[in-house]
């Protein structure tokens, strides 16, 4: 029987019509014109390479081939992983640099901020101290590093703080990621909002409390400290602690002498005192806000608000101090306690990406 689609053939097998290419394949019953002219089978390949029946791959050859393929795949994966990590570092550094630029504009604006402090009848240095304390309080509420700062009493009416407070009363944040959420709030609230300078991928809400954070290349919150007097790792701020985080009074005295706080031109909050002497600890060296990513290891490794909250609870000194803000110490009763914010915790800070060392590989 002639299959459908085939051309009729006579008894000798030659076609009665059409060309030879139209001949029907008697085995497959498929018109020849629909089949490729050349058919290369695995049998042909093995035959051409001398790998006929009985001369296939040896086990050794197969193992070598598998090993080479595995090695190449491993190398490709390694290269891909390294490139992806470099991209994360570059992206994080760019975001931190942008935040640094915007934050420093805010920070330095306080150098010329006016506060209505009554100096009538006060000696000049006393009036200068009043002004310094008022400026620090204003910085505290307008550049909060914790929710407690955000709702603290302001020395003057601050529309910016009012906006923060409204947000706080509308939606209470979770205690996690305080400084990261404060940082986002500082740069995106009010008429000077810089929200449009950040891409969506630079913003997240990792704890899902409705308070966004800037996030790094690994998707973790970028944290912030307005004042970190014991910062270990800085190219733009004096360092007064050693690599283990131990406060070094000689370093602090040198820092006060050679890099004094520009917010205090009258040097009314000035001390070179050593332990046991009045006015210990020495102060006030120049402080610059720190903006930091945990880096690839995911460990922040720094004594910050989150660390204090986790290790000491909400009654920690940094979180419950109600007196005038002093970046360098907190006063408990009649004694002064050194403000340790910025001191390293473990070794997790080593790979951090932060604004105090943006110019070097990290
Ligand atoms: Ca959040
Ligand atoms: Ca780290």
> Tens digits of per-residue pLDDT, 333-348?
778 888 999 999 999 9
CA of 148 to the centre of ligand 1 (A): 16
Query: Where residue 358 falls among pLDDT bands split at 50, 70, 90?
Result: confident
pLDDT higher than 60, residue 311: yes
Question: What is 61-119 written as a DSSP string?
Answer: HHHHHHHHHHHHHHHHHHHHHHHHHHHHHHHHHHHHHHHHHHHHHHHHHTTS-------
Q: What's residue 229's pLDDT?
A: 95
Ligand nearest to C-alpha 353:
2
Sorted by sequence, the CB contacts under 8 Å of residue 48 that are 6+ apart come out as none
**Cα 328 to ligand 1 centroid, rounded to whole Å:** 29
**pLDDT at residue 330, rounded to an integer:** 86
Q: Which ligand is nearest to the CA of 344?
A: 2
Contact call for residues 226 and 145 (beta carbons, < 8 A) = yes
Q: Whole-prediction pTM value?
A: 0.79
Alpha carbon of 64 to ligand 2 centroid (Å) = 41
**Partner residues linked to 331 by β-bridges:** 336
Where does the pLDDT of residue 48 fall: very low under 50, low under 70, confident under 90, or very high at 90 and above?
low
**Distance from residue 152's CA to the centre of ligand 1 (Å):** 21
pLDDT of amino acid 2: 47
Omega within 30 of 0 (cis) for the link into 281: yes
298 Cα to the center of ligand 1, angstroms: 17
Q: Which ligand is nearest to the CA of 352?
A: 2
More confident residue, 283 or 23: 283
> How close is the Cα of 265 to the center of ligand 1, in Å?
38
Q: Does an H or E element contain 336, and which?
A: strand 335-338
Say which residue, 208 or 360, is predicted with more confidence: 208
pLDDT of residue 170: 95
CA of 208 relative to ligand 1 center, distance in Å: 5
Whether the link from the prior residue into 155 is cis, omega within 30° of 0, is no
Give distance in angstroms: CA of 82 to centre of ligand 1: 30
How far does residue 174's CA lie from ligand 1's centre (Å)?
Answer: 7
Tell whether the model's pLDDT for residue 110 goes beyond 90. yes
Q: How far is the CA of 317 from the centre of ligand 1 (A)?
A: 24
Q: Which ligand is nearest to the CA of 92?
A: 2
- Backbone φ, ψ for residue 60 (5° rounding): -60, -45
213 φ/ψ angles, rounded to the nearest 5 degrees: -135, 155
- Nearest ligand, CA 179: 1
Task: Say what the pLDDT of residue 21 is.
Answer: 47
CA of 140 from ligand 2 middle (Å) equals: 27
Which ligand ends up closest to the CA of 210? 1
Q: How far is the CA of 293 from the centre of ligand 2 (A)?
A: 7
CA distance 135 to 317: 21
Q: Taking 50 as the threshold, does the pLDDT of residue 49 lie above it?
A: yes
Give the ligand whose atoms come closest to the C-alpha of residue 297: 2
User: Ligand 2 center to residue 298 CA distance, Å?
Assistant: 5
Q: What is the pLDDT of residues 213-223, one digit of tens each?
A: 999 999 999 99
Confidence of residue 3 (pLDDT cuts 50, 70, 90): very low
């Amino acid at each position: 029987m002639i299959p459908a689609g085939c051309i009729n053939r006579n008894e000798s097998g030659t076609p009665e019509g059409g060309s030879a290419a139209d001949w029907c394949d008697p085995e497959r019953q498929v018109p020849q014109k629909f089949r490729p002219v050349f058919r290369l089978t695995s049998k042909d390949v093995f035959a051409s390479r001398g790998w006929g029946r009985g001369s296939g791959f040896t086990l050794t050859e197969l193992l070598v081939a598998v090993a080479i393929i595995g090695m190449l795949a491993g190398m490709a994966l390694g290269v891909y992983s390294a490139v992806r990590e470099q991209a994360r570092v570059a992206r994080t550094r760019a975001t931190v640099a942008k935040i640094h630029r915007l934050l420093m504009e805010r920070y330095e604006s306080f150098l010329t901020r006016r506060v209505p402090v009554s100096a009538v009848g006060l000696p000049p240095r006393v009036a200068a101290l009043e002004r310094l304390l008022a400026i620090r309080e204003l910085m505290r509420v307008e550049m909060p590093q914790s929710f407690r700062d955000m709702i603290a009493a302001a020395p003057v009416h601050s529309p910016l703080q009012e906006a923060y407070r409204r947000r706080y009363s509308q939606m209470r944040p979770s205690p996690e990621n305080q400084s990261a959420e404060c940082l986002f709030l500082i740069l995106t609230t009010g008429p000077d909002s810089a929200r449009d300078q950040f891409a969506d991928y630079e913003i997240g809400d990792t704890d899902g409390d409705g308070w966004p954070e800037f996030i790094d290349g690994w998707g973790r919150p970028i944290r912030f400290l307005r004042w970190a007097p014991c910062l270990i790792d800085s190219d733009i701020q004096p360092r007064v602690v050693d690599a283990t985080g131990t406060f070094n009074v000689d370093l602090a005295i040198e820092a006060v002498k050679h890099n004094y706080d520009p917010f205090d031109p009258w040097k009314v909050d000035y001390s070179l005192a050593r332990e046991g002497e009045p006015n210990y600890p020495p102060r006030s060296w120049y402080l610059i806000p720190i903006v930091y990513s945990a880096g690839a290891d995911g460990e922040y490794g720094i004594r910050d608000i989150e660390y204090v909250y986790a290790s000491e609870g909400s009654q920690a000194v940094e979180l419950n101090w109600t007196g005038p803000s002093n970046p360098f110490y907190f006063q408990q009763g009649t004694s002064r306690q050194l403000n340790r914010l910025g001191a390293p915790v473990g070794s997790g800070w080593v790979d951090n990406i932060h604004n105090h060392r943006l110019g070097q590989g990290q």
